Structure 1
């Protein structure tokens, strides 16, 4: 299996689930749950549980929330190498969900990530870890200069970079790095922000993003079709209906994880996309951003049981 260096967001996800459909401007009964999350951390835990050797480098504060992230990394079998700021609070993401699991709104308290300059990451120790990795996995929680330095250095070592967009506000931090990426995973809103224009047809995303220097993109649209493109073409698949939805948090990170897992195994674009869809469906049927019981066997079972996604031909 591959050696993966994961750098980016690892923080606390707080999820509030309403007991009844959301009423704007009113007090809505419900409950909170809290666990470790973050784009790169969710993907890193998935990939570790799929058998890869993962090292995590992520900023966090000197608080109890940081300890929770540390425990979650250990539970997933990840080598944890935090960038600790003792006088700061660990970032958090707070989401409000409908009873059916769909997102109403979310608040991201991520100021600590902006305090990480490129020089804090590009140390001799990290250079050594990067040079020995088979893949760099990173998300846009870090500042643009840090992402550019990381992706450019990885490309110089011949190491592929798999990137996660995180949000429409942060995806633009990847703009300078696009020529150095082997994959950028995003949703349609993030792709529209990056390209400067929404695609009237999801099959047109490659026409909008390839001229920016991106050679491979993975684009989701909620329950809509999922699209992947690379230098050799485009694949657009309609995912089979999901009977039971528990929580959409982490589903996009799971889609990226499954695609990356297939990419590392040398799979085809379509098979990698199907693998990502299967893992996203597995994740959406449980509460929380990852499945603690994920394993190669569980993913293989899900792939075998899942109706084949419907190709949408170009």
Structure 2
């Protein structure tokens, strides 16, 4: 019996708090709302989406020796992910707090991520990490560049976007990639050229948090199952839509509901 592909993720797994304002947001004032707390992190959210699509996974992260760290460890175990993380008993587990408006759009995010900056550089050089990397079929790494760095534009070294950005990335010898920009068309490129997928309008908007993570996870899982990038990215766009429609950072779905969402995603179109 063939075994499922194995992916190793390196990045954040921490406490995620999402507070949603009940009515119109009023700056510099007390706003009634609801606060939810879960375990999240870009890589961890993406990894949970990957596991839901039938891929074996392991995670290398760092956390503190506090109650929040125990909560994170339990969530990793419950997700069926092998935990290779390091625990620093005298440190506080990182956390991220997002405030969103009544329409599900982000107002502000607050990141308490000092332990990642302190510990990650050393942890990824450990023999344990090198062994896990050597055994994995694929690596998912949380680059986590600041917003001001413009992510892909930072690689290109220029404040450009769209087709110009793709051209510069290809000039830097990247053979394939995906560029997202909120609700705008998802832009991809591979050895066959440049293409775009127009995200369908969500049937409802519950919370935009985690949409990018879901897109990443489902796309990577599809690639590991052997799908070409253009088809894999359609699955990623479908997962992102399900995330937007769900109050959970990692949406729950069945094969049937995922298939219904995928049917709403148009085929990739060639970008001239």
SS across alignment from 1:26: coil
* Residue number in structure 2 paired with 1:197: 158
Is 1:300 equivalent to 2:259 in the alignment? yes
Q: Work out whether residues 13 and 40 of structure 2, in 8 Å CA contact, stay in contact via their aligned partners in 1.
A: yes
Is 1:95 equivalent to 2:98 in the alignment? yes
* Residue number in structure 2 paired with 1:145: none
How far does residue 213 in structure 1 lie from its aligned partner after superposition?
Answer: 4.1
Shift in CA distance, 134/294, structure 1 to aligned 2, threshold 3 Å: farther
Structure 1 gap segments, 5+ residues each: 141-164, 173-188
Is 1:60 equivalent to 2:63 in the alignment? yes
Shift in CA distance, 23/196, structure 1 to aligned 2, threshold 3 Å: farther
How far does residue 64 in structure 1 lie from its aligned partner after superposition?
Answer: 1.2
SS across alignment from 1:303: helix
4+ long deviations beyond 6 Å: none
Q: Work out whether residues 49 and 77 of structure 1, in 8 Å CA contact, stay in contact via their aligned partners in 2.
A: no
Distance in 1 between the 2:107 and 2:267 partners? Answer: 27
SS across alignment from 2:31: coil
* Residue number in structure 2 paired with 1:148: none
Is 1:268 equivalent to 2:228 in the alignment? yes
* Residue number in structure 1 paired with 2:30: 27
Distance in 2 between the 1:166 and 1:76 partners? Answer: 26
Which aligned pairs between 1:105-184 and structure 2 lie closer than 5 A? 105-116=108-119, 118-140=121-143, 165=144, 167-168=146-147
Q: Given the alignment, which residue of 182, 204, 212 partners 1:222? A: 182
How does the TM-score come out when normalised to structure 1?
Answer: 0.79
Structure 2 gap segments, 5+ residues each: none
Shift in CA distance, 224/45, structure 1 to aligned 2, threshold 3 Å: same
How far does residue 285 in structure 1 lie from its aligned partner after superposition?
Answer: 0.9
Residue-by-residue CA offset, 1:138-190 (whole Å, 9 max, x unaligned): 102xxxxxxxxxxxxxxxxxxxxxxxx45425xx6xxxxxxxxxxxxxxxx42
Corresponding pairs, count: 269
* Residue number in structure 1 paired with 2:245: 285
SS across alignment from 1:44: helix
RMSD over equivalenced CA pairs, Å:
2.0
SS across alignment from 1:33: strand
* Residue number in structure 2 paired with 1:237: 197
Shift in CA distance, 252/307, structure 1 to aligned 2, threshold 3 Å: closer
How does the TM-score come out when normalised to structure 2?
Answer: 0.91
